[in-house]
A and B are shown apart, each in its own frame.
Chain A
Amino acid sequence: AQRVTQPEKLLSVFKGAPVELKCNYSYSGSPELFWYVQYSRQRLQLLLRHISRESIKGFTADLNKGETSFHLKKPFAQEEDSAMYYCALSRANDYKLSFGAGTTVTVRA
């Protein structure tokens, strides 16, 4: 069975401070991991996926198979980063996503 855990429901940081959103998963096979984001009054959209190994909007995420984690990080948070963030997992080449419960990030000026 696939399971994604985001232990923090709410995260509040000051502008310019680092932010880290935790994500842990359980899956017996080889998963693909994603971060999706939902800004206020917008639809859910992809932020980044582990295979791409990209930095998107200053965010990075490293897949740690030993710790079964895929934490999302940004060194300097901006006010426009305030949003709901979901970690998600799919079976390889399946794209059927299992989502975590989400973390609401608020970046204060």
Chain B
Amino acid sequence: DTGVSQDPRHKITKRGQNVTFRCDPISEHNRLYWYRQTLGQGPEFLTYFQNEAQLEKSRLLSDRFSAERPKGSFSTLEIQRTEQGDSAMYLCASTGWGSGNTGELFFGEGSRLTVL
């Protein structure tokens, strides 16, 4: 297991196009988180899943953003009708939930989005 993996690592798109990012968490982890990070800022929470259930979505998240985790394994984050303000690094993290877990989040390397 190589840890959390994200694909693609870089995406350049034109304003108005749709983009989708994929995250494969560590296999035994049942919680999966999406964060967004812009230059000079810390990661900002977007949404998270426990297994296939989406438990929370940030109020800051536009309805152009949607995330899924259909089988409780990998997750996708889709942005529709991209805007230049969507340009950011999109980070995925996973952790185990339950007794004995430390709460440590394991992060992927991120998917960098540039909207022209």
Interface of A toward B, CB cutoff 8 Å: 4, 6, 9, 32, 34, 43-46, 49, 52, 86, 88, 90, 93, 95-102
Contacts and interface: CB of A to CB of B under 8 A. Distances in A.
Interface in B87-116: 91, 93, 95, 97, 102-110
A25 B92 CA distance: 24
Nearest to A98: B45
A49 B103 contact: yes
Contacts, number: 53
Q: Looking at chain B, what size class is its interface with the partner chain?
A: 20 to 34
Shortest 3 CB-CB contacts between residues of A and residues of B: A99-B42, A44-B107, A95-B103
Given A96-B33, A96-B48, 8 more contacts: A34-B103, A43-B107, A43-B108, A44-B93, A95-B97, A96-B45, A99-B35, A99-B44
B107 A97 contact: no
B41 interface: yes
Given A49-B102, A96-B33, A102 B42 contact: yes
